[in-house]
Structures are given as C-alpha cells and as structure tokens.
C-alpha cells in the first residue's frame, strides 16, 4: 500500500504487470476491469453520501424479482450501464435490476464480453448505513440472446465483488488467484491490499439467516446443528445481510455462508448468474468451494438469467460437510 513500502501498486499497474506475463493478452479484459473499478468509486461515493444527497429509501417500484427497488439500486444499475457505454468490447449487460439482457453498442463490431451484475447487494442495509456490495461476472459474448448467455460458471472469464464498508474494496479473479485492492481516497486509486488470497481449509465463521432455521431443508438444519455442537471447534455466527461482506470475512478467516432452500423458497433465494457463480469462482480460486449441497455451483447450466439456487460457499472442510449432509438425506 502507499505508506507501507513507499511503493504504490495501483490496480492499473498490477493489471499491466499481469498482462506482461501473458504476451498474447490484448489488454481488453484490463479495460473491463478498470471500468468496473470506476463504477466502484461512483457507487461508493453515492453510498457514503446517501443520507446527505437524499437518495436513501425506495423508488416505489418493484424489480423483475418482485423486490422493492431502492433509489440506490437504480443509481447503481445506471452506473454500470453508463460505464460500459464507453467500452465497445462489452456487447451486453445482464443485471438483477433488468428483466432482459441489455444490448450495448448495437451495430458496432468487436464485441467480446458480456458483463453480469448485482449492482447493489444487500441494499436493504443502506437504510441504516450498513455495509453493501456489488458483484460482477465477465463472460465471453455470443449475442444478447439469453441462450447465448446461459452457460455454466466454469466458463466465466473473470469475476469479483466490490465492498462498500469501512473501506472500499475491489476483489477480483481472472483465473490466476484472487487479489484485493483498497481504495486510497487521497489519490483516488485502488491500491493492492492482498495478492493471491488463500481461504483457510477450515474456519470459525458460520454465516446464515438463523431466523429461517425451522424453514430450512432438513440437511441444512442437520448440518448447522452438528457444526454448532462440535465442542472441539467453536464457531462464531456472523451475518450482515450482505453476501459480499459475509463472504469477505470467510475469504480471510474461513468457514461457511449458506442460504439453503426453505419452505417459502424451494429453489433458494440467491441468483445463480450474477451472485452465486461469480462468488463461486472467487471461492474456488482462493482454495475454497461453492455448492448447492447437491452439486458444484460452477457446473450448473442456467435455465434463465434470473435463476435462483440454494447456495453454500466457504472453506473446503465446511462445504464438504454440508454436501455430506445432503448426500445422507438422499440415501435415507
Ligand atoms: P438484496 O441484494 O436484495 O438486498 O439481498 C441480499 C441478499 O441477496 C444477500 O446479500 C444476503 O445474504 C441475503 O440476500 C439476505 O437475505 P435475508 O434477509 O433473507 O437473510
């Protein structure tokens, strides 16, 4: 970081350095990541000043998911769309806030990527000035038709998240490990914070909405009870209401976040394409796992752009135990 070593490894310098290791690289992915980092700064400034700017609260509209849209959900979505109007290699954008994929740069050639986003994860936290995030996935562009976007997570070219907390963090992977950057507001740049993050193989954090425990599918309940009963390995409960923040802790300290299917949401709550798959890529690149309980998230072929799945993500030990609980259920 700026002060620590007297050196300043900014995001653009880091990406330039990585690019040199791959002489065949065109620099196009770097352009996409840099534009995402600009969006991060814009949304961070909205989130920080939401009360002052009078942009807290609901718009009065509901989105395609049937959820109430916060003013900042809409502004964040607009910030992503605007960003990619300047990057002609991004041919389409898919967002939690939009019913269908949005085609960008119609008529221009050279489209290479589609970007999928949850513009503001945990937006209900905004009302009380708590942590929020954004999640992104970068895939190869075929067309803006849904069938050309519905591919398994293993085909993602890159993924990451932005966390708007006490610091603003930009965390990404393009398949060569997970790197995190912190916004140095004095110089207006993201500066390297952690290179090649490795998630502990077993952790101490359990993160889930225990208010739903009686509604969860049986294997999730059995798993949670057995983990909490383990007297040799004490777990701490952490749950913020923003997946990005909960995963970020687990990335560093290990453990598990899970949002299983329950009697109100038999398909689960979280969205595959712009929440689960990108975070699964981050977890796997950091040495962790992501699963529905029954299968690896990165192998699911989506059937619609807003598909939901039951989701568990975290350290190898905890996710393996979670899957064992589901496997036991199917043999009984
Ligand atoms: P929003 O992005 O719609 O605010 O939802 C947040 C979220 O998708 C995820 O970030 C949280 O972990 C989870 O939902 C919280 O859901 P519950 O309030 O049902 O626990």
* Residue 177 to residue 283: CA distance in whole angstroms: 10
Q: What is the pLDDT of residues 127-154, one digit of tens each?
A: 888 999 999 999 998 877 888 889 999 9
Q: Determine the pLDDT at residue 271.
A: 97
- Give the number of the atom of ligand 1 that is nearest the alpha carbon of residue 271: 8
- Checking if the pLDDT of 117 tops 80, the result is yes
242 lines ligand 1 (CB under 6 A): yes
Q: pLDDT band for 1, please (50, 70, 90 cuts).
A: very low
Query: Three-state SS for 173?
Result: strand
pLDDT at 5: 58
243 touches ligand 1 (CB under 6 Å): yes
Q: Which residue has the tokens 């949304």?
A: 43
For 131-148, give one letter per residue: b (16+ CB within 10 A) or e.
bbbbbbbbbebeebeeeb
- Averaged pLDDT, 170-187: 97
CATH topology identical between 11-194 and 205-331:
no
Which residue from 297, 273, 277 is spatially nearest to 100, judged by alpha carbons? Answer: 273
pLDDT for residue 214 is more than 60 = yes
Q: How many CB atoms lie within 10 A of CB 208?
A: 21
Higher pLDDT: 330 or 51? It is: 51
User: 29 pLDDT band (50/70/90 cuts)?
Assistant: very high
Please tell me the distance from the alpha carbon of residue 24 to that of residue 34, in angstroms, as a whole number. Answer: 19
Selection from 137, 163, 139, 134 nearest residue 76 by Cα = 134
> How many A from CA of 286 to the centre of ligand 1?
23
pLDDT at 68 over 90: no
pTM over 0.85: yes
- The overall average pLDDT reported for the chain is 92
CATH ID of 205-331, from 3.40.190.80, 3.30.70.270, 3.30.830.10, 3.30.70.1400: 3.40.190.80
DSSP state of 101: P
- pLDDT of the residue at 263: 96
Residue 34 has pLDDT above 50, yes or no: yes
Alpha carbon nearest to ligand 1 atom 5, residue: 122
Confidence of residue 60 (pLDDT cuts 50, 70, 90): confident
Q: If you take atom 18 of ligand 1, which residue's CA is the nearest one?
A: 241
Judge whether residue 276 has pLDDT over 90: yes
**Whether the CB of 207 sits within 6 Å of ligand 1:** no
Give the per-residue pLDDT at 105: 78
Residue 313 parent element (H or E): strand 311-314
Helices 28-48 and 71-84 sit at what angle, rounded to 10 degrees?
A: 150
- Cβ-in-10-Å burial (0-12, 13-18, 19+) of 110 comes to exposed
Q: Which atom of ligand 1 is nearest to the CA of 240?
A: 12
Q: What is the pLDDT of residue 118?
A: 97
Per CATH, the homologous superfamily of domain 11-194 is: Fructose-1,6-Bisphosphatase, subunit A, domain 1 (3.30.540.10)
d(CA 131, ligand 1 centre) in Å: 12
Distance CA 292, CA 276 (A): 10
Of 4-13, 99-108, 320-329, which one has max mean pLDDT? 320-329
> Residue 27 pLDDT > 60, yes or no?
yes
- Taking the C-alpha atoms of residue 242 and residue 73, their distance in angstroms, rounded to an integer, is 14
- CA distances (Å), 266 to each of 40, 175, 220, 263, 297, in order? 33, 32, 13, 6, 17
Average pLDDT over residues 55-60: 81
What phi and psi, each to the nearest 5 degrees, are found at residue 181?
-130, 145
Q: Which two tokens stand for residue 120?
A: 């503001």
Residue 21: per-residue pLDDT:
84
Q: Map out the domains of the chain as residue ranges.
A: 11-194, 205-331
130 Cβ closer than 6 Å to some ligand 1 atom: no
Tell me the two tokens of residue 227: 């983990």
113: left (phi over 0), alpha (psi -120 to 50) or beta: beta
pLDDT tens digits for 287-319?
A: 999 999 999 999 999 999 999 999 999 999 999
Quickly count: other Cβ atoms within 10 Å of residue 97's Cβ: 22
Above 50 in pLDDT, residue 196? Answer: yes
pLDDT at 59 over 90: no
**Spatial separation of the C-alpha atoms in residues 84 and 94, rounded to whole Å:** 12
């Amino acid at each position: 970081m700026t002060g620590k070593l007297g050196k300043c490894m900014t995001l653009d310098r880091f990406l330039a350095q990585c690019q040199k290791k791959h002489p065949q690289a065109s620099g196009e992915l770097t352009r996409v990541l840099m534009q995402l980092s600009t969006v991060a700064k814009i949304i961070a400034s909205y989130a920080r000043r939401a009360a002052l700017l009078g942009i807290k609260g609901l718009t009065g509209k509901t989105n395609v998911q049937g959820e109430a849209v916060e003013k900042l959900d809409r502004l964040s979505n607009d910030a992503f769309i605007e960003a990619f109007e300047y990057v002609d290699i991004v041919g389409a954008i898919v967002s939690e806030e939009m019913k269908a994929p949005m085609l960008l740069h119609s008529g221009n050639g050279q489209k290479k990527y589609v970007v999928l986003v949850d513009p503001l994860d945990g937006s209900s936290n905004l009302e009380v000035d708590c942590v929020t995030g954004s999640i992104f996935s970068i895939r190869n562009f075929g067309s803006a038709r849904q069938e050309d976007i519905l591919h398994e997570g293993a085909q993602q070219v890159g993924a990451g998240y932005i966390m708007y907390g006490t610091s603003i963090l930009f965390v990404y992977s393009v398949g060569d490990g997970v790197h995190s950057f912190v916004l140095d507001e004095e110089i207006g740049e993201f500066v390297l914070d952690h290179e090649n993050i490795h998630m502990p193989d077993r952790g101490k954090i359990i993160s889930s909405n225990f208010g739903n425990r009686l509604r969860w599918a049986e294997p999730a309940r059995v798993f949670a009870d057995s983990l909490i009963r383990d007297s040799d390995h004490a777990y701490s409960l952490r749950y913020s209401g923003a997946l990005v923040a909960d995963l970020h802790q687990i990335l560093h300290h290990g453990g598990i976040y899970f949002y299983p299917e329950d009697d109100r949401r038999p398909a689960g709550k979280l969205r595959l394409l712009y929440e689960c798959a990108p975070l699964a890529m981050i977890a796997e690149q950091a040495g962790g796992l992501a699963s529905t309980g029954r299968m690896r998230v990165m192998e699911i072929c989506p059937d619609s752009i807003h598909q939901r799945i039951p989701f568990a993500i975290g350290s190898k030990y905890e996710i393996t135990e979670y899957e064992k609980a589901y496997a036991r259920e199917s043999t009984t």
